[in-house]
Amino acid sequence: MADPALGGLYADMEGRLGPQGWWPAETAEEMVIGAVLTQAVAWRNAERAIAALRGAGLLDLAALAAADVDAVAVLVRPAGYFRAKARALRALAVWISGQGGLGALAARPAAAVRRALLQVRGVGPETADAILCYALGQPAFVADAYARRVLRRVGLLEAADAGSYERARAALAPRLPDGADAPWLGELHALLVAVGKEWCRPREPRCGACPARTRCREAARRTADGAAAG
């Protein structure tokens, strides 16, 4: 059943932080490309790779599907893991093109599309959910590390559920508010990331909700606690 606290948390974060404008991409295809490039890397670095692809005329799926993997690898090098990401971009572009493009995928059942996305090498659960939510308009929640950390901190996720992506996703799915659509879930995720970024920083007093050696800032903690109370 729906958990009213999730809606309250959303409202409070939105009121404090305002619209986050995710996903920062000009087109749905660019969003898909960015989803791969930002894996385990600061968004700043993904942006450099995106700019390089744009400069080479490779910022669309049809072009990537036909491009040489090694040439793509050189371009996306600033995003790290460049060989793996070049291969993933090509595999994803080939698959999506073969399915008739993003428009055709958006019209298919989300669960089936998710399973298929996970078969693409280089696409894991988080990337798949991000694509579903931000590029395909499906009501998918991205239960990434920031979201899990913040939701656990504010008491909306048990520690055991916050430990892994799939556990968190399974625990949250039935509690999403009725009518939680893609724009709402996308904004919820963006807000959770914003709070998480502000909340946990290096070289601050230790925070139990953070990864080892990560420390938290007191002011941001009040923001999160306030959001939990609201």
Partner DNA sequence: ACCCAGGGTCATA
Partner DNA sequence: TATGACCATGGG
Question: Minimum CB separation from DNA for residue 153, in Å?
Answer: 14
Question: Minimum CB separation from DNA for residue 130, in Å?
Answer: 6
In the shown chain, the binding pattern of residues 72 to 101 toward DNA, with x for contact by CB under 7 A and - for none, equals -----xxxxxxxx-----------------
> For residue 196, what are the contacts with CB-CB under 8 A and spacing of at least 6?
145, 146, 147, 149, 150
3-state secondary structure of 225: helix
For tokens 């996720």, name the residue.
157
User: Residue 35, interface with DNA (CB under 7 A)?
Assistant: yes
* Chain centroid, CA 20 distance in Å: 13
User: Residue 123, interface with DNA (CB under 7 A)?
Assistant: yes
Closer to DNA by CB, 166 or 181: give it.
166
Which one of 8, 14, 17, 48 is in contact with DNA (CB under 7 A)? 48
User: Residue 17, interface with DNA (CB under 7 A)?
Assistant: no
Closer to DNA by CB, 52 or 156: give it.
52
- In whole angstroms, give the CA distance from residue 32 to residue 164: 23
Question: Minimum CB separation from DNA for residue 109, in Å?
Answer: 20
User: Residue 138, interface with DNA (CB under 7 A)?
Assistant: no
User: Residue 122, interface with DNA (CB under 7 A)?
Assistant: yes
User: Residue 213, interface with DNA (CB under 7 A)?
Assistant: yes
- The CA-atom distances, in angstroms, between 217 and each of 69, 71, 118, 155 are 42, 42, 36, 19
Question: Minimum CB separation from DNA for residue 205, in Å?
Answer: 14
> For residue 157, what are the contacts with CB-CB under 8 A and spacing of at least 6?
148, 151, 168, 171, 172
Q: Are 185 and 176 in contact (CB under 8 A)?
A: yes
Angle at 27 between CA 23 and CA 31, to 5 degrees: 45
Closer to DNA by CB, 118 or 229: give it.
118
Residues that bind DNA (CB under 7 A): 22-24, 34-35, 38-45, 48, 77-84, 120-128, 130, 144-146, 163-165, 167, 193, 197, 200, 202, 211-214
